[in-house]
Structure 1
């Protein structure tokens, strides 16, 4: 008997399966997985504090990724999210609004996947940054101001039939905070044999908000007593938005500490997983970056300095209360990218920054290498 004859009326049936597309997506996911397996986990660097304190500070060194920064994890996650969600197809260019480490990392991943990549950057972006993006296989599209970047990236995607990755909207949902490519899982597993394996504090900055969302969610998922602190910078909306409970807060200027701080509270920032926020002056971020660079024997970026200054505040308060424990933060990228800015005395002076008092303060609060 013909079973189809039993239906009372014809079913509407539209089949859009595409074996070629599925094979293309599967091959690119395979490449992402292979890249992850080729890459050793990033190191956990223990800072040398006075032994009598019984407080340990650790840096998760994200500068050792193939594309040189914490944003390498984000780039892989964003591309994977677009592939498994059916948004990315053969021949489509990928566009991002970024002139910094995100663009460099996304260009690196796009080249690995044989996908054209365009970074929308503001006029005045340093030639060093443009060279990094282009050497990673990307192309730069210039707009007059930072405020135009996202709108132009969306317009360009529509014009070219491409995909706007939109890191600020998609970072928190693209990252699998429970497992795959999760910095939280990696860092906490690396602490397991340390004197205080469950940290008292984890300190991160916020650019997209994706990293703080990943750590905060995982801490709650694991039911850990660790508190999450977000270190914010001048001209950023995250601190005021969190304090006021108002996601509509905006500022009239952009952050001068690359990679963190935004003029609006980005959609990927999840305030409910943040226990504390510390706003760090830009001069303090630079001072702390230079101080840590000297102690490590290699340069770190200013966003790492922001993190370290917040760590110093937390450690000082732990000592005042007689607490022991560990504090984990991130070394976000190499300071070699900032030779002409944060490590140039004339450039720093031109910003109106005076790092010296902050340098003296952090040396007292966090005497690295002293016993």
Structure 2
């Protein structure tokens, strides 16, 4: 098919690889007496408020993507856009705040600073407001206007960078300058969440599938920004001794795929991802390449084609990272159909599409970026109509 729309390069991991370079723990300051009764009272109340948020929140839905019944394959989307802050990152932000509070890193009156392309910052601004501390998001200047509005709506402040690769250093410098805490999601995402259970996303998926005809999915597809979600799901699968395989799709301008296929944790890129929330110019410490079974490199035009196909299929707009995952999930389903295998596949709705109306749902933006989604959308439509993926 023209323009390479029929393929998304993938590979399988061989020898052991590593994550990103180690990052030192936040510097400890000596200006707070942590045995002080007033501080301990504040800490208890802050932890209670964060835990209460989880207690108030119902689980997110597991939606079905319509496929022909004769295929004997079920495709599900875990809809993380229904969290209070509208994205998968709500789970991560809650875990990071509990981790920072219980480690003694977040202090009353001192700001929390985060390097983020948007959704994590929205969720962290919410939790910072919940416990009454200032929040500053260090983010690319190209971040969608709607995400910026949401960060400010929750009481956060945005600090912009022209080079996405500079976010880490600027966030760390702001923490030093303000006496605050650099949350550093890219280092701590994989360790702040209890991957053995405790209502993490993996446990939730399996619980919701228990009455389905294929309760143990053949594949779970999870995109990577920090890598924390794929690490949590993969660890849980291994811990519970399931046969499910984990696939991590990677967008253009991201180095995860290259680092995974070459076993090179030092690989870097020279630009930021156009698909907000996923893809990084360096191998992040929270991305665990040894834990996943497969990666796919997904063209950005294929990502946009997939989110538009999703809207046609279920009537819901979703963000770009959802499209990257859906494209890969559909490719896996196509392989299963071709091989005569039955089973289920799960991917994620990471955040809502109304945050990206000026990007992935804008034909003017596509033209400005030089993205032609036509061949990729034709590939999806042909597959859903015939069961064969066009080559």
Return the TM-score normalized by structure 2: 0.88
2:47–2:98 Cα contact (<8 Å) kept: yes
Per-residue deviation, 1:124: 4.4
How does 1:31-46 map onto structure 2 within 5 Å? 31-46=49-64
For the structure 1 residues 85 and 66, does the alpha-carbon distance in structure 2 shift closer, same or farther, using more than 3 Å as the test? same
Match of 1:205, SS state, is coil
Per-residue deviation, 1:97: 1.2
Per-residue deviation, 1:16: 6.0
Whether 1:119 aligns to 2:144 is: no
For the structure 1 residues 258 and 122, does the alpha-carbon distance in structure 2 shift closer, same or farther, using more than 3 Å as the test? closer
Per-residue deviation, 1:250: 0.7
Q: Which residue of 2 aligns with 1:110?
A: 128
Per-residue deviation, 1:126: 4.1
Aligned-partner Cα distance in 1 for 2:121–2:189: 14
Aligned-partner Cα distance in 2 for 1:140–1:315: 40
Return the TM-score normalized by structure 1: 0.93
1:103-154, CA deviations, whole angstroms, 9 ceiling, x for partnerless residues?
Answer: 1111111111111101112334443332111011101123333222211111
- Structure showing greater radius of gyration is 1
1:173-225, CA deviations, whole angstroms, 9 ceiling, x for partnerless residues?
Answer: 11111123411111111000000000000001000000000000000000000
Out of 77, 81, 89, which is 2:95 matched to? 77
Q: Which residue of 2 aligns with 1:259?
A: 277
Q: Which residue of 1 aligns with 2:308?
A: 290
Aligned-partner Cα distance in 2 for 1:109–1:20: 21
2:66–2:313 Cα contact (<8 Å) kept: no
Q: Which residue of 1 aligns with 2:8?
A: none
Q: Which residue of 2 aligns with 1:233?
A: 251
2:144–2:356 Cα contact (<8 Å) kept: no
Match of 1:329, SS state, is strand
Q: Which residue of 2 aligns with 1:339?
A: 357
Match of 1:219, SS state, is helix
Q: Which residue of 2 aligns with 1:270?
A: 288
2:164–2:271 Cα contact (<8 Å) kept: no
1:204-257, CA deviations, whole angstroms, 9 ceiling, x for partnerless residues?
Answer: 100000000000000000000000000111111100100011111111111100
Match of 2:222, SS state, is strand
Out of 207, 214, 235, which is 1:196 matched to? 214
Out of 374, 378, 391, which is 1:356 matched to? 374
Aligned-partner Cα distance in 1 for 2:83–2:245: 26
Aligned-partner Cα distance in 2 for 1:367–1:193: 28
Q: Which residue of 2 aligns with 1:215?
A: 233
Q: Which residue of 1 aligns with 2:25?
A: none
Aligned-partner Cα distance in 2 for 1:127–1:224: 41
1:203–1:307 Cα contact (<8 Å) kept: yes
Aligned-partner Cα distance in 2 for 1:232–1:99: 16
1:312–1:366 Cα contact (<8 Å) kept: no
1:316-368, CA deviations, whole angstroms, 9 ceiling, x for partnerless residues?
Answer: 11111111000011000100111111100011111111101000101222459
Q: Which residue of 2 aligns with 1:330?
A: 348
Whether 1:96 aligns to 2:114 is: yes
1:73–1:181 Cα contact (<8 Å) kept: no
Aligned-partner Cα distance in 2 for 1:336–1:64: 13
Aligned-partner Cα distance in 2 for 1:192–1:93: 42
1:66-87, CA deviations, whole angstroms, 9 ceiling, x for partnerless residues?
Answer: 1010011111011010011111
Out of 156, 159, 171, which is 1:153 matched to? 171
Whether 1:187 aligns to 2:243 is: no
Gaps of 5+ in 2: 1-32, 387-391
1:313–1:365 Cα contact (<8 Å) kept: no
Q: Which residue of 2 aligns with 1:365?
A: 383
Q: Which residue of 2 aligns with 1:49?
A: 67
Number of equivalenced pairs? 354
Gaps of 5+ in 1: 1-14
How does 1:162-181 map onto structure 2 within 5 Å? 162-181=180-199
1:157–1:163 Cα contact (<8 Å) kept: yes
